[in-house]
Structure 1
């Protein structure tokens, strides 16, 4: 399974929503609470240049925020990024 990092805040509903989708996918991920540690917030800014949370990285690639994650799911691309077979694919 690829490395997934979620920069988040515990009080942010979008962070919770993004992590809920990842959990539904059975994805293990590292949570980085930027509210708890200013250095982690600065790290997030360096990595993606964005101030808002969540910010999601899969295998070091910046995916974006919650809406971006759900957009990947709607387009059927999230499973491939997570190294999973698509739920919609059927075996011959």
Structure 2
């Protein structure tokens, strides 16, 4: 199975969002990204056990969503929003790192 993809601006680092079908925080993260005009690659771990194993190996977390911007592991929805409130999300999206 291929990950679901939404169009993204070529100038921003790739956003990867590990999710499940019934996760309300995943929906909130996707709605936030959409409101910013951003796209992402969605990896559904509920339909792909290998993707779940890969996510846990990369993040050491079992909860979703798990969000990556480029190679930077942002964390979950609350982490994404904390980064945004701290003014650090936009620089990360511009490829400047945290």
Q: TM-score, normalised by structure 2?
A: 0.81
DSSP-derived class of the 1:6 partner: strand
Q: Aligned-pair distance for 1:10? A: 1.8
Equivalent residue of 1:56, what SS?
strand
Question: What is the CA-CA distance between 1:64 and the residue it aligns to?
Answer: 0.5
Larger Rg belongs to: 1
Aligned residues: 84
CA RMSD of aligned residues (A): 1.2
Q: Does 1:32 align with 2:50?
A: no
- Which residue number in structure 2 is paired with residue 89 of structure 1? none
CA displacement, residues 3-35 of structure 1 (integer Å, 9 cap, x when unaligned): 110001121000111111111111111000100
Which residue of structure 2 lines up, in the alignment, with residue 88 of structure 1? none
- How far apart are 1:57 and its partner, in Å? 0.6
> Could you state the TM-score of these two structures normalised by the residue count of structure 1?
0.86
1:13-63 Cα shifts (integer Å, max 9, x gaps):
001111111111111110001001101000101111100000001111111
2:15 and 2:44 map into 1 onto residues whose CA distance is 14
